[in-house]
Structure 1
């Protein structure tokens, strides 16, 4: 034991020798025959006290001295631990308030698809599915109503039609389809139809400018031609545009051709147009459209179409529409120059 001094060891050795000496007399005549034998090998008889020498308690005086010598020093007092101070809970990263002036990390803008030189012109992109069915807003409607006509024929008839408009990121596509068929007691008195298609590309150089392409196909069994094809294109400009009012002017050129008509060949012509629409109230609106097609050669005449409509919105996507359309042709080939169609229509928007 490292904590005993040499002096203490010496005292303990002397105490052991004195104990042995005090008991040596009592054991002079004792027999030591049983020492070194196991418990089972010893003979029965009076046991000697010699073998219990190391187990006898020392005298009182010696015991007191040994107790004082062997007394362990007191343990040093351990320092009292200080009470732990509760630290405030650390705020989570998402709960830390960012300074108001800190700028948000701007994500890199995704590059938009470009179409040709003007970035919106679909040069070589007509075959791409995303061009026709990408992200866009669709406005579709179907119409059904009564139709009246004065001019080459005078009758009342049933009119059906549909309109489609798609406003995409790069283009605006619209189509108008209509068919009129009327019969009276003498037989078929009216049978005409038209399909109008227009495609616009808003230009990035200025938000009010755009390019356009138009294709019109007209069929009429009671005119001098069986079918007329009109194709033109150009540029359009919006001199006035608000949430309630939209006014568009257009200018361009193209050609027309009549099939089954005395007038043969392709007729080059210009196109001038004005399209004005206004939302009067939340449920009432009107639109007036004018298109003028003068031929480049004076003797080939000119045409113009005026279309006006007034619409009242009803419930469940239904609307009531009053419309009138006047078509004028300066070269009717022995037919009347004007054809006026007017109708009261019920429109369902979907």
Structure 2
């Protein structure tokens, strides 16, 4: 099941790129984006130091644009693995007018320390560019979709062999997504961003917010400090509802 979802995500992204490349090759821009390497301290379900890798890519095809995001976090405490999270996402946008656009979205998350084997969301909706100036940008988007949660089995490890208290299960439910991406550029070298994401489902709602301050070091390298909060309204038994992550990152920008 996990492999199938990963292959589906890759196939949809590849198909979108291939179709638009053939139809609008004369108006295709180059890929732009950034990659980052980070170190941080986490509180909540785990108390650990961790390393993270992330990449965020975008490309425009006349009225269309596609985005690809991937991140991985790994952490250990006293030699024991305490964090192992992978997140993959893609979005396909279509401009309707100067400010309004439609979008489709697919995301997939695996987090070994959340009580879930995986979480998948497939949906779409409308977005709106509230501000779009050199100094200030603010874009919001939202719409319905399908949420698929694969929940791990709950085991009683005090017995040998371990006793299954709650069997593994898959829950599919109506979902909805809402995001806000706000950015302010103080000058040519320093900028502040605040990204908020809400992923609603009947079973549980995930809320995330990342506040980040980025300062340019060279034309392509930047330093970033950020604070992330992840909240789950109905976590699996035995797991905290809120995790916080403080990071220091080295960021490489390209394609601009």
- Provide the rounded CA distance (Å) in 2 between the counterparts of 1:220 and 1:159: 14
Which residue number in structure 1 is paired with residue 156 of structure 2?
A: none
Which residue number in structure 2 is paired with residue 225 of structure 1?
A: 116
Query: What does residue range 41-60 of structure 1 map to in structure 2 within 5 Å?
Result: none
Q: Tell me whether 1:264 sits opposite 2:156 in the alignment.
A: no
Which residue number in structure 2 is paired with residue 33 of structure 1?
A: none
Deviation per CA, 1:196-216, whole angstroms, max 9, x where unpaired? 22221111xx21000011111
- Are residues 249 and 140 of structure 1, via their aligned partners in 2, closer, same or farther at CA, if it must alter by over 3 Å? closer
Q: Tell me whether 1:313 sits opposite 2:219 in the alignment.
A: no
- Provide the rounded CA distance (Å) in 2 between the counterparts of 1:166 and 1:294: 28
- Are residues 200 and 154 of structure 1, via their aligned partners in 2, closer, same or farther at CA, if it must alter by over 3 Å? same
TM-score, with structure 2 as normaliser = 0.80
What is the CA-CA distance between 1:263 and the residue it aligns to?
5.5
Work out whether residues 289 and 307 of structure 1, in 8 Å CA contact, stay in contact via their aligned partners in 2. Answer: yes
SS at match of 2:41: strand
Deviation per CA, 1:219-267, whole angstroms, max 9, x where unpaired? 1111111111112210011222212211112221112111244563211
SS at match of 1:226: strand
What is the CA-CA distance between 1:349 and the residue it aligns to?
1.5
RMSD, matched Cα: 2.2
Consecutive unaligned residues in structure 2, runs of 5 or more: 1-15, 153-167
- Provide the rounded CA distance (Å) in 2 between the counterparts of 1:337 and 1:132: 45
- Provide the rounded CA distance (Å) in 2 between the counterparts of 1:237 and 1:309: 22
Return the structure number with greater strand share: 2
Q: Determine which structure has greater relative contact order: mean sequence separation of CA pairs < 8 Å that are 6+ residues apart, divided by chain length.
A: 2
- Provide the rounded CA distance (Å) in 1 between the counterparts of 2:20 and 2:36: 31
| Match of residue 191, structure 1, among 84, 93, 109 | 84
TM-score, with structure 1 as normaliser = 0.59
Work out whether residues 42 and 243 of structure 2, in 8 Å CA contact, stay in contact via their aligned partners in 1. Answer: yes
Q: Tell me whether 1:209 sits opposite 2:112 in the alignment.
A: no
Deviation per CA, 1:282-313, whole angstroms, max 9, x where unpaired? 11111111122333x4xx23221112211101
- Provide the rounded CA distance (Å) in 1 between the counterparts of 2:23 and 2:41: 40
Q: Tell me whether 1:163 sits opposite 2:66 in the alignment.
A: no
- Are residues 257 and 241 of structure 1, via their aligned partners in 2, closer, same or farther at CA, if it must alter by over 3 Å? same
- Provide the rounded CA distance (Å) in 1 between the counterparts of 2:148 and 2:35: 29
- Are residues 128 and 145 of structure 1, via their aligned partners in 2, closer, same or farther at CA, if it must alter by over 3 Å? closer
The structure having more radius of gyration, on CA atoms, is 1
- Provide the rounded CA distance (Å) in 1 between the counterparts of 2:144 and 2:196: 16
